């Protein structure tokens, strides 16, 4: 007797020890070593030890009320964001579903049957009516049900972060599309003005040709430039319409290509607060979401492990039986039962062990995905910081080049009219002036695009009033 009790106690102890919650997350994923600051790693002069906070409400730095209005419209109507919100709500319902395992289930069974029996002598009819109320409850011995609740809660937390990331990305994409549209409009104005100026130059050169002051070659070269510039204007108009439709799609509206925009890009004059590299792990919603998913997959490993152990449930029932449906619960004594069920897998040809191994491998796979995302995020920040510095330098140089080229263009044409310079010199001066003006507009846009990418790669909040976390 004592020996049997000792064996039973030893078996229970073995089960409890074997049912300890396993984990396959490595230490390298739990503790990621980040550099002390961005300046040492990226070679940028923008990061200092005083800049410790992630960017917040960075949309306000552009000081563009129209852009803020567009973002309000996009957050309300964008189809991708609405899809993400519905996915979040589904995950929330799954959390509520998983929490129902804490409570017993109550069900009502009501049946009525009529059966005819025929033998050699006679036939008879039998009527039977049953009513039963059943109460079932599974005892969470090993914590498997708790692990399932934890897993759904982690997946819900991941979807919250995903929704936050989709919001932030939408703000960034609308901002980038808005500046892309303004930049294309500004280039269209430049091309149109250049075509107008060249047409005016053509009229002047043709007048001088008729007076015998210059060659026919100058006329044909100018006509060629006018035709080329008019073709450029036509192509740029199509680019503007294309950019308008891209923005309208982000706003969740019909892509009519009719949205209006100003024709001057804002200039960046401020510096970016880069924060600390370690803040990237908690400031970027996509990284936080990936971490929650890793924890959820790891909880799935615990569930798979505990599925190999017995499950215990209690079922209580109370009911009545009668030969008439209307006679049920007429005051007679009710029958009741209380049953305890212990279900344990004995032989499944390695199925449960294989499922646990699959769960373990899934954790390792998700961990690699998480680490890949983290290091790619660091690389994005480094690249955007380097781009910020390089674009600022290029912009400064091309601003100087633009000023010099505009002066040279005007001087060369005046000297040509006085016979002091050849038309080839005029053409070269015009080309340099046009290239410099085009490059300044393009770099202004590129600086804005890179600044948005930098904000997005750093994390933080874009528009605090709109990007509050889903409640």
pLDDT at 108 over 80: no
The upper half-sphere exposure of residue 51, i.e. CA atoms within 13 Å in the direction of its Cβ, equals: 18
pLDDT at 110 over 80: no
- Please state which CATH class domain 28-103+153-307+366-458 belongs to: mainly alpha
Q: What local confidence, expressed as pLDDT, does residue 44 receive?
A: 42
At residue 216, what are phi and psi to the nearest 5 degrees? -65, -30
Q: What local confidence, expressed as pLDDT, does residue 337 receive?
A: 63
Residue 98 to residue 90: CA distance in whole angstroms: 12
Q: What angle do CA 226, 230, 236 make, to 5 degrees?
A: 145
- For 219-234, how does the pLDDT look when each residue is reduced to its tens digit (9 = 90+)? 888 899 899 999 999 9
Report CA torsion sign: 166, 168, 169, 170.
Answer: positive
Write out the two tokens for 118: 């025929």
The DSSP letter of residue 419 is T
- For 407-451, how does the pLDDT look when each residue is reduced to its tens digit (9 = 90+)? 998 999 899 888 888 888 888 898 999 999 999 999 999 999 999
- For 28-76, how does the pLDDT look when each residue is reduced to its tens digit (9 = 90+)? 888 888 877 876 444 444 444 444 577 778 888 888 999 999 999 999 9
Quick check: helix, strand or coil at residue 111?
strand
User: Within 10 Å of residue 353's Cβ, how many Cβ atoms?
Assistant: 13
The DSSP letter of residue 123 is E
- For 71-104, how does the pLDDT look when each residue is reduced to its tens digit (9 = 90+)? 999 999 999 999 999 999 999 998 888 887 777 7
Q: What local confidence, expressed as pLDDT, does residue 384 receive?
A: 93
Place of tokens 């002390």: 36
Quick check: helix, strand or coil at residue 52?
coil
Q: What local confidence, expressed as pLDDT, does residue 372 receive?
A: 95
Contact 156, 293 (CB under 8 A): no
- Global pTM reads 0.81
pLDDT at 340 over 70: no
Q: What local confidence, expressed as pLDDT, does residue 469 receive?
A: 40
Length of the chain: 471
Any idea where the domains of the chain sit in the sequence? 28-103+153-307+366-458
């Amino acid at each position: 007797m004592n020996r049997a009790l000792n064996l039973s106690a030893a078996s229970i102890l073995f089960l409890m020890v074997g049912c300890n919650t396993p984990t396959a997350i490595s230490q390298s994923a739990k503790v990621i070593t980040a550099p002390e600051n961005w300046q040492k790693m990226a070679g940028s002069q923008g990061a200092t030890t005083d800049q410790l906070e992630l960017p917040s409400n960075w949309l306000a730095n552009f000081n563009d009320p129209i852009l803020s209005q567009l973002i309000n419209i996009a957050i309300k109507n964008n189809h991708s964001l609405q899809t993400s919100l519905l996915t979040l709500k589904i995950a929330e319902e799954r959390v509520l579903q998983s929490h129902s395992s804490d409570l017993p289930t109550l069900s009502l069974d009501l049946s009525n049957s009529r059966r005819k029996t025929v033998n050699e002598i006679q036939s008879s009819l039998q009527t039977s009516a049953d009513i039963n109320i059943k109460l079932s409850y599974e005892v969470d011995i090993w914590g498997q049900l708790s692990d399932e609740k934890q897993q759904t809660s982690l997946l819900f937390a991941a979807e919250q972060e995903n929704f936050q990331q989709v919001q932030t990305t939408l703000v960034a994409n609308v901002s980038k599309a808005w500046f892309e549209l303004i930049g294309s409009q500004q280039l269209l104005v430049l091309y149109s003005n250049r075509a107008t100026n060249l047409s005016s130059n053509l009229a002047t050169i043709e007048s001088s040709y008729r007076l015998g002051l210059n060659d026919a070659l100058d006329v044909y070269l100018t006509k060629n430039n006018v035709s080329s510039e008019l073709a450029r204007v036509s192509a740029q108009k199509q680019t503007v319409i294309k950019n308008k439709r891209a923005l309208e799609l982000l706003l969740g509206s019909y892509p009519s290509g009719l949205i209006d925009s100003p024709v001057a890009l804002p200039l960046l004059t401020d510096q970016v607060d880069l924060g600390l590299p370690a803040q990237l792990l908690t400031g970027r919603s996509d990284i936080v979401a990936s971490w929650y998913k890793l924890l959820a997959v790891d909880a799935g490993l615990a569930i798979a492990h505990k599925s190999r152990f017995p499950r215990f449930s209690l079922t209580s029932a109370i009911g009545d039986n009668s030969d008439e449906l209307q006679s049920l619960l007429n005051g007679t004594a009710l029958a009741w039962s209380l049953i305890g069920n212990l279900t344990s897998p004995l032989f499944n040809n390695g199925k449960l062990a294989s499922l646990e191994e699959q769960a373990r491998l899934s954790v390792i796979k998700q961990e690699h995905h998480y680490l890949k995302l983290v290091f790619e995020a660091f690389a994005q920040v480094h690249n955007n910081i380097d781009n910020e510095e390089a674009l600022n330098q290029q912009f400064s140089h091309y601003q100087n080049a633009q000023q010099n080229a505009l002066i040279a263009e005007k001087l060369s044409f005046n000297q040509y009219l006085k016979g002091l310079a050849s038309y080839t010199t005029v053409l070269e001066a015009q080309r340099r002036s046009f290239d410099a003006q085009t490059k300044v507009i393009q770099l202004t846009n590129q600086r804005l695009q890179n600044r948005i990418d930098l904000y997005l790669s750093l994390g933080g909040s874009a528009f605090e009033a709109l990007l509050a976390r889903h409640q």
